[in-house]
Amino acid sequence: MTTDPPTKEFDFWNDHSLEFLEMALRQEYRERITNPDGYGKRTGECGDTIEFFLMEKEGRLETVSYDIDGCSNTNACSNTIVTMAMGKTIDQAWDITEQQIIAYLKTLPAHETHCAELAIGAFYLALKDLKTPDKG
């Protein structure tokens, strides 16, 4: 008879990276913008919904904000995108990837990587909306 060693229960505060905790709890970029230059929205199979609002000035992202109806993992991924995108050129913003988000957070649970995919998808939709010729 073999017994498995007891598994340690995950401790949210001590087992997550500081980067994940900061991004999961941050709220200052969570805002809805009326008439943004770029807007994107996605809803995942998990039920989480994320919206990105972009304001561009002279080819750079001057404001990047979001709103979610979702979990702390989705919030962490959204804030990571804001951190990576703010002040970047539009072309640089297109280079942000799901893998970069996961790497930055360090401790996004493997079964929650769909949150990074959902967030970057909504962000890409907002970037695509910036390119719409009939805007503005």
- pLDDT exceeds 60 at position 29: yes
Of 93, 37, 98, 33, residue with least CA distance to 65: 33
The CATH number for 18-130, chosen from 3.20.20.70, 3.30.565.10, 3.40.50.620, 3.90.1010.10, is 3.90.1010.10
CA 8 to chain centre: 29
Q: What are phi and psi of 29, to 5 degrees?
A: -100, 5
pLDDT at 5: 63
State the chain's mean pLDDT as an integer.
93
Residues 102-130 pLDDT 10s = 999 999 999 999 999 999 999 999 999 99
- Contact assessment for residue 45 and residue 114, using Cβ atoms and an 8 Å cutoff: yes
Q: The whole model's pTM is what? A: 0.90
- List the one residue out of 112, 121, 123, 102 whose CA is nearest residue 29: 123
Q: How far is CA 18 from the centre of its chain?
A: 16
Confidence of residue 31 (pLDDT cuts 50, 70, 90): very high
